[in-house]
Chains A and B, each alone.
Chain A
Amino acid sequence: KAGVTQTPRYLIKTRGQQVTLSCSPISGHRSVSWYQQTPGQGLQFLFEYFSETQRNKGNFPGRFSGRQFSNSRSEMNVSTLELGDSALYLCASSPSQGETQYFGPGTRLLVL
């Protein structure tokens, strides 16, 4: 089976812009979670989608949003980018909630 894929792999944006990141889970996986990883904070949970519904949300401002489509593909959006949003954004998929998560390669976002 193909693994989790994320696009784009790298992004450079400026403050105030918005960005959309995409994640395609492993075939048959219905749960998609998003994480932000920075050197200072480690892996921080953003949100989880299952069956097109947001099931859990981490402690991030409303500028961070996401959605999941009927084919389980997911997107996350960050509006009004800030310098502190520079991070590696990771998507992880699992067959269902609470099962082993498999990570994609990540999208590295740099905000200037």
Chain B
Amino acid sequence: QKEVEQNSGPLSVPEGAIASLNCTYSDRGSQSFFWYRQYSGKSPELIMSIYSNGDKEDGRFTAQLNKASQYVSLLIRDSQPSDSATYLCAVIPAGGSYIPTFGRGTSLIVHP
């Protein structure tokens, strides 16, 4: 079974700090990786996607992908209280079904 693992947290960081969220996956052939943010009681909102090894930056967010080690991470710079949410990692495994497997999410708390 293809799995996506995330630490459930909560991860607590002070305002202005860098929050680092990690995700590991079991299917070595996976090609597409996504980070979503979900506020309590709301639906997941796409933050960014990444497909190649290395870093991808979008504003305060940086996704890092290492296929050899089978992990993808999300860095949030200058964390704000409004970043407090659950962050979901999603991976589309190899095999042709095209259906992403979601991790359980990491709860992030940014305190003033």
- What is A's interface to B at a CB cutoff of 8 Å? 33, 42-43, 45, 48, 55-56, 88, 90, 97-98, 100-106
Taking CB atoms, residues of chain B closer than 8 Å to A56 are 97-99
Q: Of B43, B88, B103, which one neighbours A106 at CB under 8 angstroms? A: B43
Assess the B34–A100 pair: CB atoms within 8 A.
yes
List chain B positions with a Cβ less than 8 A from chain A.
Answer: 32, 34, 36, 42-46, 49, 88, 90, 92, 97-100, 102-105
How far, in whole Å, are A56 and B100 apart by their CA atoms in the complex? 11
* Residue contact B46 to A100, C-beta cutoff 8 Å: yes
A43 to B92, CA, bound (A): 14
Residues B45 and A103 in contact, CB atoms below 8 Å apart: yes
Q: What are 11 inter-chain pairs, A to B, with CB distance below 8 A?
A: A33-B99, A42-B102, A42-B105, A56-B97, A56-B99, A90-B44, A98-B92, A101-B90, A101-B100, A103-B46, A104-B43
A98 CB contacts on chain B under 8 angstroms? 32, 92, 98
CA distance A45 to B102 in the complex (A): 9
Contacts A98-B32, A100-B34, A100-B49 given; indicate if A105 touches B42 (C-beta within 8 A): yes
In the bound assembly, the distance between CA atoms of A98 and B93 in angstroms comes to: 10
Closest to B45 in A: A103
Q: 7 tightest A-B contacts by CB?
A: A98-B98, A97-B98, A43-B102, A103-B43, A42-B104, A106-B43, A103-B44
A48 with B43, Cβ < 8 A, contacts A42-B104, A98-B32 known:
no
- Cα separation A100 to B49 with both chains bound (whole Å): 8
How close is A99's CB to chain B, nearest CB, in angstroms? 8
Q: How many angstroms between the C-alpha atoms of A60 and B49 in the bound complex?
A: 28
Nearest-CB distance from B12 to chain A (Å)? 20
Smallest Cβ distance from A88 to chain B, in angstroms?
8
> From B100, which residue of chain A is reached at the shortest CB distance?
A101
Cα distance, A103 to B39, chains bound together (Å): 13
Q: Closest B residue to A4 by CB, please name it.
A: B43
Determine whether the beta carbon of B34 is less than 8 Å from that of A105: no
Taking the closest CB of chain A, its distance from the CB of B49, in whole angstroms, is 5
CA gap between A15 and B103 in the complex, in Å: 30
